[in-house]
Structure 1
Amino acid sequence: MNVVIISVVSMGTMGALFAIGLAYASKKFAVEVDPRIEEISSVLPGANCGACGYPGCDNFASAVAKGDAPSNGCPVGGAEVAEKVADIMGIDTDTDDEIKIARVICQGKTCHTSVKYQYDGIKDCRAAAKLGSGNKSCDYGCLGFGTCVDICSFDAIEIIDGIAKINPDKCTACGKCIDVCPKSVIDLVPYSQRVIVDCNSKDFGKKVKSSCVVGCIGCKLCERSCPFDAIHVEDNIATIDYEKCTNCGICADKCPTNSIWEDKSKKKKA
């Protein structure tokens, strides 16, 4: 009986000592967690899309709290989330930066271009691009198999008449579609931009004409007509400097192939 009592007392004593030791160790070696991390995470959209440059929203929140990431680094949340994060951090943030959206820089619809061969492989742009740059007559155009559609977490992309079309009101500029496109035909443009060169071809004019009726032929009419020095032809393709562009639309009016898109719905009338 005494042996049993001694054993119980010994085990109880050892358990108490272990508990005291663990409690001491937990306090001695505890890693303090910045309470702002949880606060920042709570105001983030929770998309975990990686557009901020971090694996997920929690990682981004931790980076902001440490000062390694800007308070306005979440493109999905936009200015509203940036202001909330800045408020938690007790800092000011520049929320006046131009919002950008992804845009497919191509007008290669089935009515504008043709195909070099019948493709019956995997319906994936990356797979198709490995076969002679794809089946489209333009080697630089959208292949239209929807790889960008599959990767988009916000249902912002659909395939219309052979090419991808991005809904600007749903796009968050996360960049996933840009990374996955094998033709590099998707780019970020300012949301308010109403004049855009909708062609990605680097070919010379003669070859462009034979592959797409609305392709840029590098004629430089747009360059010569721009009053603001905002558009130049480089590598056989017109490129707009959005910081200089005033959306006047003169370049679009002068373009002989209609490769420059202009949103005339918001154009001021004389």
Structure 2
Amino acid sequence: MNIIVITIIALCAIGIAAAIILYFVAQKFKVYEDPRIDEVEEALPAANCGGCGYPGCRGFAEALVKADDISNFYCPVGGAPVMSHVGALLGHEVKAADPTVAVVRCNGTCDNRPKTNVYDGATSCTIAASLYSGDTGCQYGCLGLGECVDACNFDAMYMDEKTGLPVIIEDKCVSCGACVKACPNSIIELRKKGPKSRRVFVSCVNKDKGGIAKKACAVACIGCGKCVKECPFDAITLENNLAYIDYNKCKLCRKCVVVCPTQAIHELNFPPRKEKPADKPTAETVKPMAKPTAEKAEKSEETKNETSDNK
């Protein structure tokens, strides 16, 4: 009986000692977590898309709480309202950022970019891009296998069967950037949504010289530089035979669209252009009908009289 009691007491003593040791160890190595992280995470949309540059909303919330300045942080899904709420929770002033949207910088439809071969392999753009340059003469354009559509978690994209290109559903796009990361040819870009969703951009990423690019695609940028000369705001640059429009400098004047010889520059959501009225003829250009002279009048009278005599 004494042995059992001693054993129980010994075990209890060991348990108490172990608990005390574990307590002090836990206190020593305890990781403090700011309670504001939970509040910020709750304010975020819980999309976990990674568009903010962090692994999920939890990681983004931790980065926001630890940062002294959150002006460079942005949640593309929640947008300005969510960031304003987060700023209020953390006591920071957040400037409203311009919303962005994904655009497809390729207009190589089946009509504009004829196929030169048939691809019969894995339906993955990444695999196809690693194997060869594509089934057309353009090695830079869309591969048409829809990997960007599969990457979109918001059903904001679909593949157009007629054109063979992805289409962005603007109202559903949250600008998370998943499609941008998924595209191996980097033809998808996040650009400013613009006032009234109006945008102007070069819908081409072909860096070949003009003749080669035009042969591969009828609407390719040929690097002629006309748009660069025409832009009054220095918003267009030409590098590696390819024009690019800086959306921060572009004022949407659309002068570049008119001068592009291959229609590689796209304008979205603009009203139809007004047709210029035809030039009206001026008084100088309209010649008045010559009045018959007296001699011509006499001759015509004589002709009439002769005709009547013959009858």
**Which TM-score applies when normalising by structure 1?**
0.89
Q: In the TM superposition, what are the counterparts of 1:221-232 in structure 2 within 5 Å?
A: 221-232=226-237
User: Are the structure 2 counterparts of residues 32 and 250 from structure 1 closer, same or farther at C-alpha, using a change threshold of 3 Å?
Assistant: same
Instruction: Kindly name which structure, 1 or 2, has the bigger radius of gyration based on alpha carbons.
Output: 2
Deviation at 1:51, TM superposition (A): 2.1
Where 1:179 maps in the other structure, the secondary structure is helix
- 1:168 aligned to which of 143, 163, 170: 170
Determine the C-alpha separation between the residues in 2 that align with 1:153 and 1:124: 17
Determine the C-alpha separation between the residues in 2 that align with 1:42 and 1:120: 47
Where 1:265 maps in the other structure, the secondary structure is coil
Deviation at 1:132, TM superposition (A): 3.4
Structure 1 window deviating more from structure 2 (26-35 vs 15-24): it is 15-24
Aligned to 2:65: 65
Q: Contact conserved, 2:69 with 2:92, CA < 8 A, in 1?
A: no
Where 1:195 maps in the other structure, the secondary structure is strand
Aligned to 1:235: 240
Deviation at 1:58, TM superposition (A): 1.2
Query: 4+ runs of 1 displaced by more than 4 Å?
Result: 266-270
Aligned to 1:124: 124
Q: Contact conserved, 1:195 with 1:260, CA < 8 A, in 2?
A: yes
Determine the C-alpha separation between the residues in 2 that align with 1:241 and 1:30: 49
- 1:181 aligned to which of 174, 180, 183: 183
Determine the C-alpha separation between the residues in 2 that align with 1:206 and 1:31: 63
Aligned to 2:102: 102
User: Are the structure 2 counterparts of residues 29 and 227 from structure 1 closer, same or farther at C-alpha, using a change threshold of 3 Å?
Assistant: closer
Determine the C-alpha separation between the residues in 2 that align with 1:138 and 1:85: 45
Structure 1 window deviating more from structure 2 (49-58 vs 26-35): it is 26-35
What are the ranges of 5 or more consecutive residues in structure 2 without an aligned counterpart?
Answer: 276-311
Determine the C-alpha separation between the residues in 1 that align with 2:87 and 2:51: 19
Determine the C-alpha separation between the residues in 1 that align with 2:43 and 2:245: 36
**Which TM-score applies when normalising by structure 2?**
0.78
What amino acid is the match of 2:186? S
Structure 1 window deviating more from structure 2 (22-31 vs 146-155): it is 22-31
Determine the C-alpha separation between the residues in 1 that align with 2:135 and 2:231: 35
Q: Contact conserved, 1:63 with 1:69, CA < 8 A, in 2?
A: no
Determine the C-alpha separation between the residues in 2 that align with 1:243 and 1:224: 18
Determine the C-alpha separation between the residues in 1 that align with 2:13 and 2:62: 42
Q: Percent identity?
A: 44
Aligned to 1:262: 267
Supply the RMSD in Å over aligned alpha carbons: 2.4
Structure 1 window deviating more from structure 2 (235-244 vs 3-12): it is 3-12
Deviation at 1:15, TM superposition (A): 3.3
What amino acid is the match of 1:249? R
Determine the C-alpha separation between the residues in 1 that align with 2:131 and 2:2: 86
Number of aligned positions between the proteins? 269
